[in-house]
């Protein structure tokens, strides 16, 4: 199980990101990230942002020693030579994609555990939408509408899980991705 002694070590050794890229991806100044890495207290929002950038759960970042769980895909992904051979920005995007996949797997598991799986209708996008992003946007909008979640995109999968699956906020942990 990979263990890191500090947030700086998580950034450098796990995510392999420069200070500037990590700060930019977390939407904070370089000076603020440097302060957090030196031990300045971080807000919950800042920890959530850093967790997304580093590909771990925010509760892991609260620990004195950050441990990536066995089977967590981020440790495997970031150890691959191919991951190390791309640019900082590309690594950050790969981690974001891995986070989205982890959240999707978690949501599917939670939904499979619910008794009302009929609440999720099978949606097929219209044939005239060719671009994958258009199909995804169409499917997401129609699914939100049919589930009564409104028309706007869901800004945070973690918040969605906490709100609609009160015990499911922890479902992402240990998902294996």
The pLDDT tens digits along the chain (177 residues) read 778 898 999 999 889 999 999 999 999 999 999 999 999 999 988 999 999 999 888 888 888 788 887 656 787 787 788 888 899 889 888 888 888 877 777 777 777 765 554 555 565 656 665 666 677 777 778 777 777 777 777 777 777 777 777 654 443 333 333
Number of domains in the chain: 1
Q: CA–CA distance from 137 to each of 153, 157, 158 (Å)?
A: 9, 16, 19
Residue 163 is predicted with a pLDDT of 74
**pTM check: above 0.85:** no
Per this entry, what is the length of the chain?
A: 177
For residue 32, being part of any structural domain is answered with: yes
For residue 88, being part of any structural domain is answered with: yes
Residue 100 is predicted with a pLDDT of 82
For residue 136, being part of any structural domain is answered with: no
For residue 65, being part of any structural domain is answered with: yes
For residue 151, being part of any structural domain is answered with: yes
For residue 23, being part of any structural domain is answered with: yes
Domain that holds residue 91: 3-113+147-170
Report the alpha-carbon distance of residue 44 to residue 49 in Å, rounded: 9
Residue 34 is predicted with a pLDDT of 96
For residue 177, being part of any structural domain is answered with: no
Q: Exposed, middle or buried: residue 38 (CB in 10 Å: 0-12, 13-18, 19+)?
A: exposed
Report the alpha-carbon distance of residue 38 to residue 18 in Å, rounded: 15
CA R_g for the chain? 18
Residue with tokens 């797997």: 105
For residue 134, being part of any structural domain is answered with: no
DSSP secondary structure string for all residues of 103-131: HHHHHHHHHHHSS-GGGS------TT--S
What is the β-pairing status of strands 66-67 and 3-4?
Answer: antiparallel
- Hey, which residues does 3 pair with through a beta bridge? 67
């Amino acid at each position: 199980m990979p263990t890191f002694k500090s947030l700086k070590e998580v950034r450098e050794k796990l995510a392999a990101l420069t200070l500037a890229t990590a700060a930019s991806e977390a939407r904070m100044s370089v000076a603020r990230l440097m302060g957090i890495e030196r031990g300045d207290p971080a807000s919950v929002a800042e920890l959530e942002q850093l967790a997304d950038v580093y590909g771990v759960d925010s509760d892991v970042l609260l620990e004195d020693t950050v441990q990536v769980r066995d089977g967590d895909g981020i440790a495997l992904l970031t150890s691959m030579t191919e991951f190390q051979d791309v640019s900082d920005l590309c690594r950050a995007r790969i981690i974001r994609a891995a986070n989205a996949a982890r959240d999707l797997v978690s949501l599917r598991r939670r939904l499979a555990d619910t008794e009302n799986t009929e609440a999720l209708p099978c949606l097929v996008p219209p044939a005239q939408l060719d671009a994958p992003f258009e199909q995804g946007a169409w499917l997401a909008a129609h699914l939100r509408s049919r589930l009564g979640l409104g028309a706007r995109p869901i800004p945070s999968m973690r918040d969605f899980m906490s709100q609609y699956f009160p015990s499911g906020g922890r479902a992402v942990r240990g998902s294996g991705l």
